[in-house]
Chain A
């Protein structure tokens, strides 16, 4: 493989890893606090994409540049409305119930959201590539790239990581979330309202998934099923990193994104296999994930 292909693969991998990171870090954050694996997480990704496309089309006649803030607004709307409703109506009643049931209610939500999405946006693919065309193309070693994919996406991902770190380590709300992640019982016993923390965390995690979808919307066609593949992929990243590990999710996204990009250039048919293979191999050796800490077995 020559150096040009290698650079192409790295750039592809970077922009893909940025999207995967946004989705999986939300999943990981939610698991860290609520101890629930949200199967509907991929649906939030899809809703983010569709909402960004719809909102973008509405504001584009005013100024095409408004499509960028529209993405962020769409992501927050989806996070607060869909995520908030889901936490309040469906998750809250099952806190403390069996793990199987908690997992299954999110599966039920996944089924519901999938159908509602078809009812709202139909089954015909939607294209919303406007933002992609607004930003200039850049040329890397003779190959043209959209700066949207190689600069904007990774920049947003890095910014998200930095902000999330700052929020969790240096603000009061973040410290409370960290405390609940660390030891839920101790945190509640010193007067932390776990219910509020759960709600806040879920909305943030859901917004991150939706932001991933919103940013992905110009680069792909929006169609039913777009969230279904994303959910397992973000599972794979979150589990490989260790559930609840935020920096770990960033490193793993990068790893899986790059591995996938290189495989596409070498052996394209095994593209989908890569993340799952990495996941199996890592979990077999370190079931708690690459960055997870060992849980002491309770007797």
Chain B
């Protein structure tokens, strides 16, 4: 298989790299407690980016994926506001389900289109959701958003200090599970068909396969991942706001996917780590220039390292 610029050329991530990353994610926050929430955000956003990576396999880019991220966060915010209580174990089910439902509904429309039309229509749907969240003040609190209370885990409540670790390790576990499942999915016949949409959709249909159907499954998977990420970020930041569904957020996710390299799951999390670290440290010292730094980094990556961070790793392996 040949991929001209290598964004979706897949290869298995080297074991040592995966192991090292998991260990760093698990241990570093123990040594430096202030890293716990940052690490949770990195991992949770990485899950959303994983969803983008799935769509990139089919050569499609969604500039409205934040709608699923937003729906995940709002699903549990509504649960807390209108039903009350809630448990972390319940929340991490609600998010993906909410994402999945919206994903299938929106997906039924958008999988009929490709490339720029696919991206545009996704953008339009996400902006409809954003304006509803922003303007239905009596239900959503408008731009202020809805606070998300700290949930219990299996009925046990934790102090804020302990909870950030509970959330971190829950997120890490979910990262491992989702990454494994996504890799399995992409290696399955269904995943190969998904990639065939990018390389030659017509040939795929000559085989008697419905490309729309294949893409819809990929889209639903990616929407569910978006919902899960939204839940985790919502809990970590203790709030859901319309910004979660805004188009710049969608752009950010696509940005991270290309930054990390869309060839495997590890890239999503590496990209997310770089992005959040730059934001975290630059935002504190250089409030008005962190986007500038990231923008320059992105352009440099696109122009000189089209495979993303993971592509650099791959190049090193090849030597």
A296 contacts the other chain (Cβ, under 8 Å)?
A: no
Q: Return 17 A-B CB contacts under 8 Å, by A number.
A: A98-B7, A100-B59, A101-B258, A101-B306, A104-B298, A107-B298, A111-B294, A111-B295, A114-B291, A115-B291, A232-B247, A236-B124, A243-B116, A269-B137, A273-B131, A283-B121, A288-B117
Q: Which of A39, A105, A279 contacts B124 (CB 8 A)?
A: A279
Assembly CA distance A116 to B296 (angstroms): 12
**Cα distance A118–B247 when bound, in Å?**
20
Contacts of A112 in B (CB 8 A): 291-292, 295-296
> Which interface class (under 10, 10 to 19, 20 to 34, 35 or more) fits A?
35 or more
Q: Cβ of B32 < 8 Å from any Cβ of A?
A: no
Alpha-carbon distance A269/B112, docked complex (angstroms): 32
Contact with B along A277-299 (1 / 0, CB 8 A): 10110011001100000000101
B5 within 8 A of A: yes
CB closest chain-B residue, reference A225 = B248
Residues B61 and A100 in contact, CB atoms below 8 Å apart: yes
Question: Do B115 and A108 touch (CB < 8 A)?
Answer: no
Q: A39-B251, A114-B291 are in contact. Are A269 and B124 (CB under 8 A)?
A: no
Which among B116, B292, B295 is the interface contact of A37 at CB below 8 angstroms? B116
Q: How far is the CB of A225 from chain B (nearest CB, A)?
A: 10
Chain B residues in 8 Å Cβ range of A98: 4-5, 7, 59
One of A89-97, A195-203, A208-216 at the interface: A89-97
B contact set with A: CB distance below 8 Å: 4-5, 7, 56, 59, 61, 63, 109, 112-113, 115-117, 119-121, 123-125, 127-128, 131-132, 134-137, 202, 247-248, 251, 254-255, 258, 288-292, 294-296, 298-299, 302-303, 306
Whether B295 and A109, one on each chain, are in contact in the complex, defined by CB atoms closer than 8 angstroms, is yes
Q: Which DSSP category, helix, strand, loop or mixed, fits chain B's interface?
A: helix
Residues of B within 8 A of A90 (CB): 299
Mask: chain A, 66-90; 1 = CB below 8 Å from B; 0 = not:
0000000000000000000000001
* A270 to B251 CA separation, bound complex (whole angstroms): 24
Query: How far apart sit A236 and B135, CA to CA, in the bound complex (Å)?
Result: 19
Residues on B with C-beta less than 8 A from A243 are 116
A108 to B301, CA, bound (A): 11
- Supplied contacts A123-B288, A280-B124, 12 more A-B pairs, CB within 8 Å: A98-B5, A98-B7, A101-B302, A104-B254, A107-B251, A115-B289, A115-B290, A115-B295, A232-B127, A271-B135, A272-B135, A288-B117
Q: CA–CA, A107 to B289, complex, Å?
A: 16
Chain A residues positioned under 8 Å from B251 (CB to CB): 39, 107, 110
Q: Are B121 and A287 in contact (CB under 8 A)?
A: yes
Determine if B131 and A107 form an interchain contact, defined as CB atoms under 8 angstroms apart: no
Determine whether the beta carbon of B124 is less than 8 Å from that of A111. no
Interface contact B132-A273, CB-CB below 8 Å = yes
Question: Is there contact, CB below 8 Å, between A283 and B128?
Answer: no
Q: Say yes or no: is A65 at the interface (Cβ < 8 Å to chain B).
A: no
How far is it, in angstroms, between the C-alpha of A32 and the C-alpha of B2 when the chains are bound?
29
Instruction: Say which residue of B5, B120, B131, B247 sits within 8 Å of A272 (CB atoms).
Output: B131
In the complex with contacts A111-B295, A284-B109, A99-B255 CB distance below 8 A: no
Q: Does A145 contact B (CB under 8 A)?
A: no
A190 at the interface (CB under 8 A from B): no
**Closest residue of B by beta carbon distance from A277:** B128
Look across to chain B and name the residue whose beta carbon is closest to the beta carbon of A117: B288
B residues in contact with A108, CB < 8 Å: 255, 294-296, 298-299, 302
User: Is B292 in contact with A94, judged by CB distance below 8 angstroms?
Assistant: no
Residue on B nearest A37 in the bound complex, by CB = B116
The docked-state distance in angstroms from the alpha carbon of A60 to that of B133 is: 43
Q: How far is the CA of A123 from the CA of B287 in the complex (A)?
A: 11
CB distance A99 to B116 under 8 Å? yes
Smallest distance from the beta carbon of A100 to chain B beta carbons, Å?
5
Q: How far is the CB of A130 from chain B (nearest CB, A)?
A: 28
Q: Top 3 A-B pairs ranked by shortest CB distance? A: A111-B295, A112-B295, A115-B292
